Structure 1
Amino acid sequence: MQAPFSLRIFVADGDPDGLRIVERSNWVGRALVFPRAAWAQPSVATRPELQQTGVYLLLGPREDGEGDRLYIGEGDPIKPRLSDHHTGIKQKDFWTRAICFVSMGQGLNKAHVQFLEANLIRLAKQAKRVPLDVENKKNETEPTLSEADRADMQVFLQHMLGMLPVLGVHAFEQPPQAPAASAPELTCKGKGLLARGYESTQGFVVKAGSQAMADLAPSLLNHFAGTVAKRQELIDLGVLAQQGSAYVFTQDYAFSSPSLASSVVLGRSSNGRMDWKDAQGRALKVLQADA
């Protein structure tokens, strides 16, 4: 079980959708969260944190409009890099919000942020929850750090990863290794296939080895573009791999809802609260009502 922590969020310009400064209890790190539209405003442009060395995330909609896209970068300092991504030679059109992390203690150096960047890219690739910008698809090599610096950056990284879901970023989350004691394993069956999964705090987790239909129902294709796009994304990312006449989950994967999970598995529109059942045949809806 992870240790509890608290976050202090300061709305720097009085606009809850504008610049927010986020600090974690008992940690030297600090996060700046702001929309792209605020980049040129003095409340953002003059922040001293952006003159420091740090690591940053750029998030925005994918080209098909279905979900987020992510770019992970580092800067020494951050501000010139973000300026370049805004209107410079490395401009990126997709991003609509940024999250920057710096240290208010001794400060981060170039090797520190390269370490953080490399590990964030590695974790995002493993989780396969959000497509990475093409520049992040190359293999990232960690810089050489002393044993002490490496230990410090591992702690810094873990604090960042704990904060990001609270800030609405789930790109790095790995599904829990096993369901909680109160979450029984459930199955979803259809036309000779079987999928297994369970509820978690991250969503509904479908387990590795579960099967999914190879063909999609016309009704899903015609009326549920988001589900079709999510399924194709999982195929492109390698989460779903074709095996014989069906697809198979190559890893545990957390969906935002049981219905999205069962729709991807069954290849049709599905009410996950009815189609996921326990060993006694009781639907998830019944189990939730009895809890």
Structure 2
Amino acid sequence: MTVPQARPTSIRIFLADGTPEGLRIVEKSNWTGRAVVANRSQFERALTRSEMAQPGVYVLTGLTEEGAAKLYVGEADALGERIKQHVAGKEFWTRAIAFTSTNEGLNKANVRYLEARLLALAKAANQWAVENTAYPAPPPLNEADIADAEWFLAEMLVIFPLLGIDAFESASSQADATSVESVEPPLTLHLNERGAKGTGKEITGGFVVLKGSLARAEETASIHEYMREQRQMLKARGVLALHEGQLVFTQDFRFSSPSTAAGVLVGGASNGRTAWKDASGKTLKALQDARLATL
């Protein structure tokens, strides 16, 4: 599949409380949608917003007990009333992002469709833990309504990463993507040390380890607890599977840094900037330094 090239756009984030981590309202140029973003501790303030009385789809984000990113996706006729039920019903979440329409363009069928599509994307990407236990099928819509809902969804997916949510985008799509600065996809890099053999790509804001990469099954005695938990989480979710004495990546997976990616592969601490190399043996550090030298 050809990944579309990113295009410049304008997004406005209004700080309703005047603070970066306070109540935020997010809008995008030429879009009828609007997002209300509130931390759990500020949710009472969010309930006073008129948007929260409207139909929409919402995402709750937080962490698992092991510290991995986790989310819950839902829909509601009245966003505020529904999310308020989760204050007592769900403990994990620390932030809510609620999407609605500024022109009353979302109805029950639309928001059910958006909920189903977001859940399907999160499941397929397998980047975050998902709190939902059911994955409903999209409701039947006519062709025009599906087109409208997909357009609304596409705009939501542009906004989510700005809020630190990359659960709906597969690592594969980022590894193959081009940007406005370059027509070439990210360079494939290689790691071959301590019995681990992996391939990956540096992307904006992280590093993708590619499907088929082999990680050591053993861990060093000095492995950091965070790294051990990362490996356990990946095994529990089927991203890492035991094969002939090694752990194989069953899908592309995105990490926050090249060092975290390298550490998971080798089962211990690793400097990703020197562990990852291109086909000619140049380290990621050397490649980064060379790019900076041309500016």
- TM-score, normalised via structure 2 length: 0.90
**TM superposition shift of 1:15:** 3.2
1:278 corresponds to: 278
1:60 corresponds to: 62
2:181 corresponds to: none
**TM superposition shift of 1:177:** 4.9
**TM superposition shift of 1:183:** 3.7
**TM superposition shift of 1:184:** 2.5
Note if contact 1:23-1:29 (Cα within 8 Å) is conserved in structure 2.
Answer: yes
Letter paired with 1:244: E
**Pairwise mapping of residues 59-208 of structure 1 onto structure 2 (< 5 A)?**
59-64=61-66, 66-87=67-88, 91-133=89-131, 136-175=132-171, 176-178=174-176, 181=184, 183-208=186-211
Q: Tell me, which stretches of 5 or more residues in structure 1 are unaligned?
A: none
Q: Which moved more, 1:105-114 or 1:69-78?
A: 105-114
Match 2:11 to one of 7, 23, 28: 7
Do structure 1's residue 219 and structure 2's residue 222 form an aligned pair?
Answer: yes
1:18 corresponds to: 22
**TM superposition shift of 1:61:** 2.3
Change (3 A) 1:167 1:191: closer
Aligned residues: 280
Letter paired with 2:122: A
- Aligned identity (percent) is 46
SS of equivalent to 2:208: strand
Letter paired with 2:69: D
Note if contact 2:126-2:170 (Cα within 8 Å) is conserved in structure 1.
Answer: no
SS of equivalent to 1:39: helix
Note if contact 1:202-1:254 (Cα within 8 Å) is conserved in structure 2.
Answer: no
**TM superposition shift of 1:268:** 1.4
Q: Which moved more, 1:116-125 or 1:192-201?
A: 192-201
Q: Tell me, which stretches of 5 or more residues in structure 2 are unaligned?
A: 179-183
**Pairwise mapping of residues 30-69 of structure 1 onto structure 2 (< 5 A)?**
30-41=34-45, 44-64=46-66, 66-69=67-70
**TM superposition shift of 1:138:** 2.2
2:213 corresponds to: 210
Which whole-Å deviations, capped at 9, do the CAs of 1:4-49 have from their partners, x for residues lacking one?
A: 21111112232332211110000000000011111223xx222111
Letter paired with 1:233: M
Change (3 A) 1:182 1:94: closer
SS of equivalent to 1:160: helix
Separation (CA, whole Å) in 1 of partners of 2:24 and 2:15: 5
Separation (CA, whole Å) in 2 of partners of 1:190 and 1:7: 43
SS of equivalent to 1:195: strand
Separation (CA, whole Å) in 2 of partners of 1:182 and 1:45: 43
SS of equivalent to 2:90: coil
**TM superposition shift of 1:215:** 1.0
Separation (CA, whole Å) in 1 of partners of 2:274 and 2:289: 12
**TM superposition shift of 1:182:** 7.0
SS of equivalent to 1:268: coil
Note if contact 1:179-1:199 (Cα within 8 Å) is conserved in structure 2.
Answer: no
**TM superposition shift of 1:289:** 1.2
Separation (CA, whole Å) in 1 of partners of 2:176 and 2:236: 26
Separation (CA, whole Å) in 1 of partners of 2:177 and 2:216: 24
**TM superposition shift of 1:191:** 4.2
- TM-score, normalised via structure 1 length: 0.92
SS of equivalent to 2:44: coil
1:256 corresponds to: 256
SS of equivalent to 1:198: strand
Change (3 A) 1:171 1:150: same
Change (3 A) 1:60 1:188: same
SS of equivalent to 1:97: strand
